[in-house]
Structure 1
Amino acid sequence: MPSESNFIALLKQRIDAGDHLLQSHLEKGPRNSTYTSSSVQNEIIEVIHEYILSSILGRLAPSALYSIIVDGTTDSSNIEQLCLLIRYVDPQSHEIREDFLAFIPTAPSTGEAIAHHILSSLKRYQLPLNNCIGQAYDGAPSMSGIFNGCQAIVIRSCPDAEYMHCSSHALNLSLIDSCTSHLIRNMFGIIKSVTTFFNDSAKRTNALKHEIERPDNDYIILSKKKRLLSLCETRWVERNVALETFLELYVSISNTLDCLRIEGNSTSEQLYHSINSFETITSLCVACFLLSEITPLSRLLQTPTIDFGIAHHQVLSLLNTFETRETNATDYFKNIVFEQAKQISEELFIQPAAPRTHQRRHGHRLLDPEEFYRDQNEMYLPVKETPTSCA
């Protein structure tokens, strides 16, 4: 049998589980009829696809109302595709469902071309266009344009398909706008470099794991995490898990880089000095605490059963939380955010201080680091205020 195939691995698993009939077929059957070739595998996948698709479409009565959700993606061979989903109420369970229908190759990526692909797919799946009551995309001009955008063209054939800019995507854009501070941007760059440095080498990954599990570790690590997670390039809220992991393992990461630089690794020398900075530590703490407030809303906005009322209530709740944080900025920042940064700094023997460039600008007057990172239009308040204004 051909090797290095998931399909073949599944067949071998069935044989190991005691399927003697399958074993006899593959070992003793004619070589030209084993049905394990790539073409047969593709046929099996297509049959499975048709079965699942018919099951999904079978849930929709001819008069059932539905909405469409479309987003662009690029596969491993850099082919631009549309991801088409349908949102509807299951007539049996009376639950809201969001089901994937198909990947649709598209070129060019104009609003007219995308709309043509969407409408053609709906017709191919025999979904009545008049029953489409909603369409959700990102806010790109080709999708949201009021004259030649995809939504404008679709609505000509589906007059009741009201366009909605994906709320989760809008939240993501507001987070991007909130991270314009160079301190936050620098922190993200440093964490990305450190994460790549460890994850690109099994030896360095094992060194970090050994440091985390070291029994005589002076810094108590309550986390069960043993490796760093890469920062998501597109969904900023998803970065929260990666940032929290980095924060939990901060001291171990620093100690591991210290050992590697002593061994003569020049890259680890640079990264060691980059993360052993109070500026980087505080920036990470600010990002973690603020993203932890936003993450539940982002998760909620992506659930299939979410409705406008619940989403509106949760957005207002988040805005109220941010307003409370702003009102009590001094106490919250001091007791929660800054305290966490100080604890990590003490473990690494780092003195809390404002950046040197700002110290030089103010002459001999020493800036209070807590006041600087809270109020100096550089960090905590500006980052917090932008999601509030964008929401």
Structure 2
Amino acid sequence: MVEKNRKILSGIVETIILCGKQNIALRGHEDDFGNFRVLLHYQAKYNQVLFEHLNTCNPRTKYTSPQIQNELISICGKIITDDLVAECNDAGVFGFMADEATDAATMEQMSLCVRFVDKTTSTVREEFLGFSSTTSTTGEVLANAFIDILTKLGVRTENMRGQGYYGASNMSGIHRGVQARIRQLIPETVYTHCKAHCLNLAIIHASKERYSKNMMDTVQQVAFAFSYSAKRLLLFQETLADDNISREAMAERTKLRSLCATRWSARADALHTFLASYSGHGVRSAFSGAWRHEGGRVQNGCTDIRFYCDSRGSRACSTGLVPLSNVLQAEECDLVKAVTDTRVVYALLQAERADDIVWDSLYDKSVGIAREVDIQPSAPDTLEGSRIVQMFRQIMLVRFGRETCIFLSWTIC
């Protein structure tokens, strides 16, 4: 009887583990037709003991109720966490990392990870231990929550030698931040601001330039317009199917990529997709066929030569930053490698910035795309200059009189 019950329980646990590995929910809108029950009955076709149990046993001892499922999930999670904690403690020292995460219910949580060197394989490992739900995001509350959770999990907190977070004041503050409060408890813990986050912040600040921001907004509106309309998307795919060059340049993609709201380094792919499809008349043809009010306004933004110059320049810069961002997020990356690779990319961007050939090439490509869509290069308008002149004339009119104002404004023009 014990052997039979173990076979039954093993089949149930294996089904739960399979759902966890495939990242699918166990239960659906109707419990009798959830993923767990369907997979369990499918497994019973090839397991006679499990088949008899599901069809002939007492419903109260079936071990498939939602309560039993949750209990088995907790047991599996605890076994996995205990193994990770044991390996972390065996490493001797470790680094602690935490980041903010918001779930589908818009509940703010903190993801907790440890970083250590595996003695058996001599490789760096980053392992996720769980989430921490907090009612407050102050440095004191978060620091106490982190230490309490690590202690409950069995992690030897005295072995912590590093900590890494993003750069918000509640995390990186030198007096009341999480890193400062943890260093009060464990002085050996060195705080390191996430280097990939530093790069992301640098890209965000660089993209605040007005023309670059307007170009990004236009690309985003174009992507949204095609993503949220089945008719527009169908027309776009039909025009793209007739353009082999654009289809190959888009790497067989059939949709425009929207700009990532948080990871700005990932915007290079969206810009590449947009330019590849637009230069091949895919987006432009869909403009005229499907857009009315909103499309006309956005299309006017795409008829300026500065839009193509900004998009080409932004894509050229971000293309070199994407590999760096991936390197900074890799598990095997350390501080020395991060600094070395960053200096290489920095030197590359500086060299391209000072090279007139690079600028001429970007401009020629921008002009080429503009001419493909019947847009002729033209000098920038003088709207800003006229506004400055008008403002200057008003100031001079108040201070020096009308004659002096006319003379000075004529001289400026």
Same fold (TM over 0.5): yes
Amino acid at match of 2:316: F
Give the Cα separation in 2 of the matches to 1:203 and 1:30: 54
Q: Deviations over 1:152-210 (max 9, x none)?
A: 10011111110111111111111111112111111111111111111112332222111
1:293 aligned partner: 320
Give the Cα separation in 1 of the matches to 2:107 and 2:247: 47
Which range moves more in the overlay, 312-321 or 275-284? 275-284
The 5 Å alignment of 1:101-250 reads 101-214=129-242, 221-223=248-250, 224-250=252-278
1:89 pairs with one of 117, 120, 123: 117
2:79 pairs with one of 51, 54, 62: 51
1:308 aligned partner: 335
Q: Say if 1:25 and 1:297 are closer, same or farther in 2 by CA, change over 3 A.
A: same
CA contact (8 A) 1:228 1:246 kept: yes
Deviation (angstroms), 1:356: 2.5
Deviation (angstroms), 1:308: 1.6
SS, match of residue 174 in structure 1: helix
CA contact (8 A) 1:209 1:227 kept: yes
Which range moves more in the overlay, 205-214 or 265-274? 265-274
Unaligned runs of 5+ in 2: 1-25, 389-413
Give the Cα separation in 2 of the matches to 1:274 and 1:38: 55
Matched, 1:323 2:353: no
SS, match of residue 303 in structure 1: coil
SS, match of residue 60 in structure 1: helix
1:342 aligned partner: 367
CA contact (8 A) 2:158 2:186 kept: yes
Deviation (angstroms), 1:239: 1.6
TM-score (norm 1): 0.83
Give the Cα separation in 1 of the matches to 2:233 and 2:29: 26
CA contact (8 A) 1:66 1:134 kept: yes
TM-score (norm 2): 0.79
Deviation (angstroms), 1:40: 3.6
CA contact (8 A) 1:279 1:354 kept: no
Matched, 1:12 2:38: yes
Q: Say if 1:57 and 1:354 are closer, same or farther in 2 by CA, change over 3 A.
A: farther
CA contact (8 A) 1:88 1:98 kept: yes
Unaligned runs of 5+ in 1: 364-391
Which range moves more in the overlay, 266-275 or 308-317? 266-275
CA contact (8 A) 1:232 1:238 kept: yes
Matched, 1:353 2:394: no
SS, match of residue 227 in structure 1: coil
Structure in which a larger fraction of residues adopt helix: 2
Q: Say if 1:47 and 1:173 are closer, same or farther in 2 by CA, change over 3 A.
A: same
SS, match of residue 356 in structure 1: coil
2:298 aligned partner: 271
Amino acid at match of 2:35: A
Number of residues of Structure 1 aligned to a counterpart in Structure 2 = 357
SS, match of residue 264 in structure 2: coil
The 5 Å alignment of 1:54-93 reads 54-62=82-90, 64-93=92-121
Q: Say if 1:63 and 1:226 are closer, same or farther in 2 by CA, change over 3 A.
A: closer
Q: Say if 1:52 and 1:242 are closer, same or farther in 2 by CA, change over 3 A.
A: farther
Q: Say if 1:24 and 1:348 are closer, same or farther in 2 by CA, change over 3 A.
A: farther
Q: Deviations over 1:7-62 (max 9, x none)?
A: 93355356557834466655666555555544344333323322221221122345
Amino acid at match of 2:222: V
Give the Cα separation in 1 of the matches to 2:275 and 2:86: 48
SS, match of residue 167 in structure 2: coil
Cα RMSD (Å) of the superposition? 2.8
CA contact (8 A) 1:130 1:159 kept: no
Give the Cα separation in 2 of the matches to 1:85 and 1:64: 16
Which range moves more in the overlay, 301-310 or 33-42? 33-42
CA contact (8 A) 2:112 2:128 kept: yes
Deviation (angstroms), 1:354: 3.9
Give the Cα separation in 2 of the matches to 1:44 and 1:161: 36
Show structure 1 runs of 4+ deviating over 6 A.
217-220
Percent identity of paired positions between Structure 1 and Structure 2: 26
Amino acid at match of 1:234: T
Larger Rg: 1 or 2? 2
Q: Say if 1:19 and 1:361 are closer, same or farther in 2 by CA, change over 3 A.
A: farther
Which range moves more in the overlay, 21-30 or 295-304? 21-30
Q: Say if 1:5 and 1:141 are closer, same or farther in 2 by CA, change over 3 A.
A: farther
CA contact (8 A) 1:74 1:81 kept: yes
Amino acid at match of 1:183: Y
2:358 aligned partner: 332
CA contact (8 A) 1:254 1:275 kept: no
Give the Cα separation in 1 of the matches to 2:27 and 2:157: 46
Q: Say if 1:41 and 1:352 are closer, same or farther in 2 by CA, change over 3 A.
A: farther
